[in-house]
Chain A
Amino acid sequence: MRDFIDRPPRLRPETNTAASLRRPLLHAGMLGGIALVLLLADLQGMLGSLRSTLTYLTAPTTARLSALQNDLHDRWRGVFEWQALQAENTALRQQISQLQAELIAREQALVENSQLRKQLAIEEQRPWHLIGAEVTIRTPDAARRVMTIARGSHDGVAPGMAVIGQTGTGPVALIGVIEAVSQRTATVLLTTDFDSRLSVRVVYAGDTTLALMQGQWQSGSRLRLEQAERSSLLQPAAIVTSAGLTGKLAFNLPLASIPAGVPIGVIETAADDGNYRFADVRPYADPDQVRYVWVILSSDE
């Protein structure tokens, strides 16, 4: 009540309408005239240099403010357009997934290209016809040393064929023999498996001898040579290659597919056990390390 008495309502003062309008109208007319003159001058191209100078001067500020606006806009979108962003995010994820698949395919192509180049180099040096294969499975079974490759009977792979591989900068060497095939895959028995027995040729100091090589993984070693025709040649640093005896003798056995002269390894140590001499061989290619192998389909020899 007291407030009402103390603060009388403010009434709009009575003014002379014509007088109060005159000044704003005059002002508007004057400024409007200037604006019209500027407009006509600009349309005639008379303000071009002034405009460009002023635009040049304000450009840094407008650029910064626009960047700020973009940033603010992004944040705004993040808060209010979450559904659209979610959809965009999903689409982008799909795109990323697709690009990753393409990248993987490209990298696979590069790897394949590299492997094919290696294959070509091997085929140029050796009279072998090869087919490359990815190592797909390494059996996690301590009892056997086998691997599965992504080639099978469909690709011409057959039991008894030699499988070669390469680790590091070492030479391409025998790592196993095809043990079983299915249409698209094949099981390789590695040379280090205890079940693996191959006739090999030992080359030492310009001389050569035949011997029997057996895998030793299950007994804590890798490869062992024994039953050499001339045991005196089982010396450290002697080179061991496949003998290809089965093929030479024309036996109709799976191992007949292993050509002669496939590098296997080098003798590391040799020892005598009475009248019996044996040697431990270090393979050129570690079967546990290879990721890609080649199957020797046939040989021109």
Chain B
Amino acid sequence: MGDPQQRRIEVRIVTELARIAAMILLALAQVTLIPAINGLPLPLMLLVLVSWLLVTIEMTGTITQTTLALRLAFYGGLALDLCAAMPMGSHALALMLAVLLVSLLCNWLRGEILLLALPALAGAAVSYELLLALLYHLTATPLVWQSYIGAVLLPATLLALPVAMLLYLLVRWSYRS
């Protein structure tokens, strides 16, 4: 029958590998299947992770799933870095920052998650895009921030928000049902 503790370790390893595979698939979907609207790509990985985190916080009433969300953000970020022409770790950092911010926000405010969802998603999207822009600014070409915020950051956030809310409600509905 085998050692139950060893079995637990094997199950954990398999589960973690499955999560890594899922994040790679999600990253591939983001860089290939999701069309850019007016040149602005939709951050599918970010939206899925944050929506899932918000729903788990609402369901469990705690932020204990944040660690798992951070791991998923790390895997997914590395997968995105591999696909995108960004230095390895940049998307991972940006996603983890967004996940951490959402988690801290929910833990701090402790209100109705449904009401917190919109500002949390907006904050996550802004922090994600800002950190990526900062990394680009530091490692590649210096940005003109004023024009970047007006021409890229705000439109990207505004584009992401309705999709994020839709995704969040979908995940919430599926969890509840």
| CB-CB under 8 A for A51 and B31, given A31-B74, A32-B93 | no
| CB-CB under 8 A for A62 and B71, given A20-B64, A24-B103, A32-B96 | no
The yes or no answer to A289 lying at the interface (CB within 8 A) is no
Query: Which of the residues A11, A13, A76 comes within 8 Å of B35, measured between beta carbons?
Result: A76
Contact between A35 and B74, CB atoms less than 8 A apart: yes
Contact between B35 and A73, CB atoms less than 8 A apart: yes
Give complex CA distance A43, B140 in Å. Answer: 10
| CB-CB under 8 A for A62 and B89, given A12-B61, A17-B107 | no
Query: Which of the residues A35, A41, A72 comes within 8 Å of B77, measured between beta carbons?
Result: A35
Query: Which of the residues B73, B74, B83, B135 comes within 8 Å of A58, measured between beta carbons?
Result: B83
A43, A62, A73 interface centre (most CB from chain B within 10 Å): A43
Contact between A42 and B88, CB atoms less than 8 A apart: yes
Query: Which of the residues A11, A38, A72 comes within 8 Å of B33, measured between beta carbons?
Result: A72
Give complex CA distance A17, B27 in Å. Answer: 33
Task: Classify chain A: how many residues form its interface, as a range.
Answer: 35 or more
Residues of B within 8 Å of A106, CB to CB, are none
Residues of A within 8 Å of B67, CB to CB, are 23-24, 27
Give complex CA distance A32, B74 in Å. Answer: 8
The yes or no answer to B66 lying at the interface (CB within 8 A) is yes
Main secondary structure of the interface of A (DSSP, over half): helix
The yes or no answer to B49 lying at the interface (CB within 8 A) is no
Contact between A47 and B35, CB atoms less than 8 A apart: no
The yes or no answer to A36 lying at the interface (CB within 8 A) is yes
Closest A residue to B91 by beta carbon equals A35
Give complex CA distance A31, B73 in Å. Answer: 10
Query: What distance in Å separates the Cβ of B77 from its nearest Cβ neighbour in chain A?
Result: 7
The yes or no answer to B152 lying at the interface (CB within 8 A) is no
Give complex CA distance A36, B88 in Å. Answer: 9
The yes or no answer to A227 lying at the interface (CB within 8 A) is no
The yes or no answer to A84 lying at the interface (CB within 8 A) is no
Residues of B within 8 Å of A54, CB to CB, are 82
The yes or no answer to B62 lying at the interface (CB within 8 A) is yes
Contact between B33 and A68, CB atoms less than 8 A apart: yes
Contact between B107 and A20, CB atoms less than 8 A apart: yes
Query: What distance in Å separates the Cβ of A35 from its nearest Cβ neighbour in chain B?
Result: 4
Contact between A39 and B89, CB atoms less than 8 A apart: yes
Contact between A61 and B33, CB atoms less than 8 A apart: no
Give complex CA distance A73, B92 in Å. Answer: 28
CB contact list, A1-41 vs B, under 8 A: 10-13, 15, 17, 20-21, 23-25, 27-28, 31-32, 34-39, 41
Closest A residue to B139 by beta carbon equals A43
The yes or no answer to B177 lying at the interface (CB within 8 A) is no
The yes or no answer to B13 lying at the interface (CB within 8 A) is no
Query: Which of the residues B32, B35, B90 comes within 8 Å of A65, measured between beta carbons?
Result: B32
Query: What distance in Å separates the Cβ of A254 from its nearest Cβ neighbour in chain B?
Result: 76
Encoded as 1 (CB less than 8 Å from any B CB) or 0, chain A from 69 to 82 comes to 10011001000000
Contact between B70 and A31, CB atoms less than 8 A apart: yes
Contact between B63 and A20, CB atoms less than 8 A apart: yes
Contact between B71 and A65, CB atoms less than 8 A apart: no
Contact between A20 and B82, CB atoms less than 8 A apart: no
Contact between A43 and B70, CB atoms less than 8 A apart: no
The yes or no answer to A98 lying at the interface (CB within 8 A) is no
The yes or no answer to B104 lying at the interface (CB within 8 A) is yes
Query: Which of the residues A15, A31, A51, A66 comes within 8 Å of B71, measured between beta carbons?
Result: A31
Contact between A66 and B70, CB atoms less than 8 A apart: no
The yes or no answer to B125 lying at the interface (CB within 8 A) is no
Q: Can you report 19 residue pairs joining A to B where beta carbons are below 8 Å apart?
A: A11-B61, A15-B62, A20-B64, A21-B63, A21-B107, A28-B99, A31-B71, A31-B73, A31-B96, A32-B96, A35-B92, A38-B88, A51-B82, A58-B28, A62-B83, A65-B33, A72-B33, A72-B35, A73-B35
Query: Known pairs A25-B100, A42-B89. 11 more at Cβ < 8 A?
Result: A17-B107, A21-B104, A27-B66, A27-B67, A28-B70, A31-B73, A35-B93, A37-B89, A39-B90, A41-B88, A62-B32
